Structure 1
Amino acid sequence: MKKIMFNDKFSLTQAVLEGRKTMTRRIVTYPLKFRGVNVAGYFVCKRPSGEVTEICMYDEDERMIDGGQILPKYKVGEVVAIAQSYKDLGYDPDSLDRDPKDLGIRGFMKHSAGWNNKMFVSAAACKKHIRITGVKCERLQDISEAECLKEGIEEHLKGIQYGFPSNIGYIGQYPFSNPREAFSALIDKVSGKGMFASNPYVFVYEFKLID
């Protein structure tokens, strides 16, 4: 089983666990080299293929350079574990009952590398899961306002308190006048400054919390 990580600093894992976040966008990454040759420029096209969308990359001479496709990591119907630290998962800190794939120091759970860092917790040790219900590929800026809310942006009913003309604002990290502004600020915090403006291709995963 695979696991998926959500940002804890901006409470995105909690939003998933509460059922408020049901969609996530992951930047499509391309290889910097192909058969040892640096690829300075490339063109990208997308085409549907069954239940997934293939991303095909071509060089300046229109030669396919990615072997034919860059596929999404998760597929429709796949069950994926939500990554959390052992501490957040509620394990006993003084327990010796450790997951065998944990890379931490052998000993008490509280001394484990995964006690505070979910990167070192295997999917098998995670207790909460989602099922992927939809996969598509698009540019980051193609997101709709309705999808911004699925990404965990919250409607806030104290807009006037923050200086907005209406009583509704939207929360990413700070209040904004519409969901799109809130999402663009959030994705820049999570994925790097200027990410929304750069408008990269993203895989869009829609999911449902199942336990």
Structure 2
Amino acid sequence: MKERPILFNGSMVKAILEGRKTQTRRVVKSTLIIDQAEFECGNRPHVTRSEPNLQHYVDTDCPYGQIGDRLWVREAFMDLSGTGVEHRDSEGKLQKYAYAADCPKGSHGDESRKDFGLKWKPSIHMPRSASRILLEITKIRVERLNSISRIDAAKEGLHQLPATGRYVINKGDQYFGGASSNPIEVFSWLWEDISGSGSWGKNPWVWVVEFKVVSGGAG
């Protein structure tokens, strides 16, 4: 069993903490894997045989690890050591670190941070010791982004409104964009918010990493 870091933005961290997110999709960058995926779905008719197969790459070359491996979450954070500022969790325990996902823009916590002149450190700079969420990989596969099912789209961290059953993207204490009864549509908005305008239409091959929370979340 190995451990690797993985980055999530604040809204996705919150979704993990609340038990709404149990999958993540990341673009496949290896041309070898993309070529094999294209071959196995019939898009390379001039190729009659190709080895190794796609499952071999899934089993050996996923950059996020293999089933049973663990991912420690990197998120925007703050080390309060030496600042003179105290931060306590929901149980009143004194904490060394504060996390931006817990203090959305405009919240009391974020305004208090500004009052003390403190700044969030980007997630890429988080050390292992500051990570509060540990995930375990349960499944891995490669598929086209647009092939996502309605069930899986909801597992990407969408919020379902209890009154209407419609899906939205939750950012802090606010909803981003619109609402839809189709979770795939809402996930496409989320993907473009993270990856840029037009990125959904490109329909890239993606790693689908399913996980469960080992520590730090609702799971």
Partner in structure 2 of residue 205 of structure 1: 209
Partner in structure 1 of residue 161 of structure 2: 156
Aligned-residue CA RMSD (Å): 2.9
Q: 1:198 is paired with a residue of what secondary structure?
A: coil
Amino acid at match of 1:142: S
Amino acid at match of 2:55: P
Amino acid at match of 1:48: Q
2:127 corresponds to 1:138: no
Flag structure 1 segments of 5+ consecutive residues without an equivalent.
35-41, 55-68, 99-109, 159-166
Partner in structure 1 of residue 43 of structure 2: none
Partner in structure 2 of residue 5 of structure 1: 7
1:78 to 63, 69, 90: 69
How far is 1:123 from its partner? Answer: 2.3
TM-aligned CA distance change 1:168 to 1:128, over 3 Å: closer
**How far, CA to CA, are the matches of 2:82 and 2:159 in structure 1?**
34
Structure 1 runs, 4 residues or longer, greater than 6 Å off: 110-113
2:50 corresponds to 1:53: no
Amino acid at match of 1:187: W
Q: 1:146 is paired with a residue of what secondary structure?
A: helix
Q: 1:182 is paired with a residue of what secondary structure?
A: helix
More helix by share: 2
* 8 Å CA contact retained: 2:77, 2:123: yes
TM-aligned CA distance change 1:70 to 1:130, over 3 Å: closer
Q: 1:53 is paired with a residue of what secondary structure?
A: helix
Amino acid at match of 2:161: H
Flag structure 2 segments of 5+ consecutive residues without an equivalent.
38-53, 85-95, 97-115, 170-175
* 8 Å CA contact retained: 1:149, 1:179: yes
Q: Percent identity?
A: 29
TM value normalised by structure 2: 0.64
**How far, CA to CA, are the matches of 1:27 and 1:183 in structure 2?**
15
How far is 1:17 from its partner? Answer: 1.7
Amino acid at match of 1:76: I
Q: 1:183 is paired with a residue of what secondary structure?
A: helix
| Deviation sequence 1:118-157 (CA, Å, 0-9, x none) | 2111224312200011100000011000001110112113
* 8 Å CA contact retained: 2:154, 2:183: yes
Q: 1:184 is paired with a residue of what secondary structure?
A: helix
**How far, CA to CA, are the matches of 1:189 and 1:201 in structure 2?**
18
